[in-house]
């Protein structure tokens, strides 16, 4: 048996609420990928954040590529 993974402690607890319909989408997506639903939601949040950062970095980028 593996020992528990040590995670950094959170000073402030975080909570995000989803509707039943939204949570059902996460459950389906997590099952399709073989992940725990909370892990899948975390990965979706991080991917969405990365996309937002990329989009923000492109604002003002008006190079002509053709």
Contacts of 33 (CB under 8 A, 6+ apart): 40
pLDDT for the residue 10: 67
pLDDT for the residue 66: 60
pLDDT for the residue 36: 95
Task: List the pLDDT tens digit at each of the 66 positions of the chain.
Answer: 667 777 677 677 778 899 999 999 999 999 999 999 999 999 999 999 999 888 888 876 666 566
The Cα–Cα gap between 27 and 32 comes to 9
Residue 24 is part of which domain span?
Answer: 20-56
Please give the tally of structural domains in the chain: 1
Q: Is residue 32 part of a domain?
A: yes
Contacts of 29 (CB under 8 A, 6+ apart): 40, 44
The verdict on pTM exceeding 0.95 is no
Q: Are 14 and 8 in contact (CB under 8 A)?
A: no
pLDDT for the residue 22: 95
């Amino acid at each position: 048996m593996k020992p528990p993974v040590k995670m950094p402690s959170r000073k402030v607890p975080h909570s995000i609420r989803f509707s039943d319909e939204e949570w059902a989408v996460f459950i389906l997506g997590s099952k399709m990928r073989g992940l725990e639903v909370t892990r899948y939601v975390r990965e979706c949040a991080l991917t969405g954040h990365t996309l937002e950062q990329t989009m923000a970095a492109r604002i003002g980028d008006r190079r002509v590529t053709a």
